[in-house]
Amino acid sequence: MTARRPQRSRDPEGRRAALATAAIEVIAEVGIARTTHRAVAARAGLPLGATTYYFPSLDDLVAAGLAVATEALGAELRSWAERLDTAEDLPGALIGLVEAYLTDRRRARLEYDLYLAAARDPALRPLAEGCLHGFRDLLEPRLGPEAARVVVALLDGAMLQALVTDTDLDGPALTAAIRRLHPR
């Protein structure tokens, strides 16, 4: 008599979450354009059929991965809010947070990939806009609406340049620019 192999329990939500997390890891490594169902399945340790079962199209899979990244960014912005609320030097504290954020270049590139993908794919725009609005919403109560909008644009541009050139931010220059916009 042959021993019966115990069946693995199926956890649909666990599999869905594992695939979304694997998708974001693959996107971070190879970019959105080179992400495949096969690569995500391999990263998640699941059969290829699981990816298409839970995410029928590659766009669905990519969107799920990007949603994971967006949620993580939202949590980080909430943490930033707590730090900025107690900061004696708001511009200096903000630049410190941005510099710390850029220490994980892989993740930062991933989030900028989201922005670029949203420029081409209207279905992804709500995710990208959520990130952009989250940063602006963080700064508005502390800087005012106009200054917040300008500071977000300034920091987004500075971070993108740092990523493209693989250099550090010019923290003192950015802090000085923010102080001119928010002299308090």
Record the pTM: 0.78
Q: What percent of the chain has pLDDT over 70?
A: 94
**CA 179, 142, 169: angle at the middle one, nearest 5?**
45
Is residue 1 situated within a structural domain? no
Q: Which two tokens stand for residue 138?
A: 């963080």
pLDDT for 7 equals 37
Residue 4 lies in a domain: no
Regions of the chain short of the pLDDT cut 70: 1-9, 183-184
In a domain, 2, yes or no: no
**Pairwise CA distance, residues 17 & 139, whole Å:** 31
For the chain, the distance separating the N- and C-terminal CA atoms, rounded to the nearest angstrom, is 81
Whichever domain contains 50, its CATH number is 1.10.357.10
Residue 96: inside a domain: yes
The pLDDT of residue 8 is 45
Instruction: Evaluate whether residue 108 is within a structural domain.
Output: yes
When divided into structural domains, the chain yields a total of 1
Q: Which of 76, 77, 61 is nearest to 27 (CA)?
A: 61
